[in-house]
Amino acid sequence: MRYLLYGLVFTQAFVISALLIPLIIKAALKWNVVDKPGQRKVHLSAKPLMGGVGIFGGFFITIVGNIIGFYLLFTQPFVQQHLQSIVRIFPLLNNVLPRLIVILGGGFLIHLLGLLDDIFKEKLSYKLKFFIQFLVALLVAIFGVRTDFMPGQALDIIITTIWIVGITNGFNLLDNMDGLTAGVSIIAAFVFFTVAVLQGQVFFAFILMALAGACLGFLLYNFHPSKLFMGDSGSLFLGFMFGSLTVMGSYVVHTSVGIIPVLMPILILSIPLYDTFSVMFIRWREGRPLFIGDKCHFSHRLLDLGMGHRAAVIFIYLVCFCIGSAAILLPYLSLAGCIIILVQAVIMYILITQLIMIGRRNNKKAVK
């Protein structure tokens, strides 16, 4: 029964998002909210932005609609008398609802920030955007959505704030190619969903299914060649949601080796983290501004190796799936098994980096 409900939530978010996108495309074109081609971009014609509105709308309408529907259903005498499986969920919903409201509120503010940036075509300074992101993440952590494994509440708040801001911007930087951020989000959501199901985190699982469904509805229009981009309204929102949801989740079980499983979100979200750190390192090494866009992202460097657009995106999907699916095992392995999983992920990124560096050197030789 529960799995049918998971599927229903996924389908609802998918349908709502897929139906909203065509309307959003028309609105973006009418209001001239488009992303124009440029030297640091791979698309050759102007594309509508605001696809993130479809993702946010599909997710938000699904989650809020189901919560309201559940409370209305619970008040029915027939349900209280005969559907005890639903009645037992009610106290659990009451427990998680305050934190869910905090996450939804924070997600709305971050989505609005991204939407304003899309509409005003990046006229908002990166300092202002960072400040707002930091403020929202800090408030979310203060109001209870934070880690709980550090010796002291203040440290948990600091770590949570840094993590949420980091993942938010990681997804924003990752959004540089058709279908990339949406596809990685779907894979990450399903991996975290598997973790939630294995550990009995019911509402965590429902939220992830809604997020995955909304992203898939958008991906129908965003996979190469895309009809629109998600814009900052989508990438910042997705990053914030993953950053917030992952600190809500539980990863350690009674058989776990210490707190090693808390590294699971880092592995599952390693694609945006790798892209962020590698891009920042390249810009720093070459003496360029850290916050000015370029074509040094993971996906762009795969194109330089000779991959096509779709091939590069699918390659990143596969890396995300392989590392993420292996991370699921961390709570159930011995110390040796956990070390193997961690070392395997590091080696995979070292190999990818080496491959890209060799390809870059060969391209420079060919130009000469």
Q: Which of 82-91, 200-209, 308-317, 355-364 has the lowest mean pLDDT?
A: 82-91
- Residue 119: pLDDT band by 50, 70, 90 thresholds? very high
pLDDT of 367 reads 54
Q: What mean pLDDT comes out for the span 32-36? A: 87
- pLDDT of 200 reads 86
Q: Would you say residue 88 has pLDDT above 70?
A: no
CB atoms within 10 A of CB 2: 12
Q: How far apart are CA 251 and CA 261, in angstroms?
A: 6
Is pLDDT above 60 for 368?
no
Residues 222-242: pLDDT tens digits? Answer: 999 999 999 999 999 999 999
pLDDT digits (tens, 9 = 90+) for 40-52: 555 556 799 899 9
At 218 the pLDDT is: 98
Residue among 179, 330, 171 at smallest CA distance from 243: 171
CA distance 23 to 313: 26
Decide if pLDDT at 310 tops 90.
yes
> Interior CA angle at 321 toward 319 and 323, to 5°?
65
**75, pLDDT greater than 70:** no
Taking the C-alpha atoms of residue 38 and residue 45, their distance in angstroms, rounded to an integer, is 9
* N- to C-terminal Cα separation, the chain: 64
Mean pLDDT of 19-38: 90
Average pLDDT over residues 121-147: 92
Mean pLDDT across the stretch 314-319? 97
Residue 32 has a CB neighbour count (10 Å cut-off) of 11
**pLDDT band of 15, cuts 50, 70, 90:** very high
pLDDT tens readout for residues 238-259: 999 999 999 988 898 888 988 8
Does 64 score more than 70 pLDDT? yes
- Say what percent of the chain tops pLDDT 90: 67
- 164-188: pLDDT as tens digits: 999 999 999 999 999 999 999 999 9
CA distance 333 to 326: 11
Tracing tokens 């890396």 back to the chain, one arrives at 319
Secondary structure of the chain as H, E, C letters: CHHHHHHHHHHHHHHHHHHHHHHHHHHHHHCCCEECCCCCCCCCCCEECCHHHHHHHHHHHHHHHHHHHHHHHHCCHHHHHHCHHHHHHHHHHHHHHHHHHHHHHHHHHHHHHHHHHHHCCCCCCHHHHHHHHHHHHHHHHHCCCCCCCCCCHHHHHHHHHHHHHHHHHHHHHHCCCCCHHHHHHHHHHHHHHHHHHHCCCHHHHHHHHHHHHHHHHHHHHHCCCCCCCCHHHHHHHHHHHHHHHHHHCCCCCCCCCCCHHHHHHHHHCHHHHHHHHHHHHHHHHCCCCCCCCCCCCHHHHHHHCCCCHHHHHHHHHHHHHHHHHHHCCHHHCCHHHHHHHHHHHHHHHHHHHHHHHHHHHHHHHHHC
Inform me whether the pLDDT recorded for 87 exceeds 70: no
Is 86's pLDDT higher than 60? no
Higher-scoring residue by pLDDT: 357, 115? 115
* Residues above pLDDT 70, as percent of the chain: 90
Residue range 119-144: mean pLDDT, rounded:
92
The structural domains of the chain, with segments of one domain joined by +, span 2-367
Find tokens 């989505």 and name the residue: 111
Listed in sequence order, the residues at least 6 apart from 114 whose beta carbon sits closer than 8 Å to its beta carbon are 52, 172, 231, 232, 233, 234, 235, 236, 237
Long-range contacts of range 347-354, CB-CB < 8 Å, 24 or more positions apart? 348/319, 348/322, 348/323, 349/270, 349/274, 352/298, 352/319, 353/278
User: Which of the four pLDDT bands, split at 50, 70 and 90, describes residue 12?
Assistant: very high
Report how far residue 127's alpha carbon sits from residue 256's, in angstroms, rounded to the nearest whole number: 41
- pLDDT at position 90: 63
Q: Is the pLDDT of residue 74 over 70?
A: no
Predicted confidence at residue 288, as pLDDT, reads 84
The residue behind tokens 């599927």 is 7
Calpha distance 309→222 (Å, rounded): 13
Do 159 and 150 meet the contact criterion of CB atoms below 8 Å apart?
Answer: yes
d(CA 260, CA 333): 10
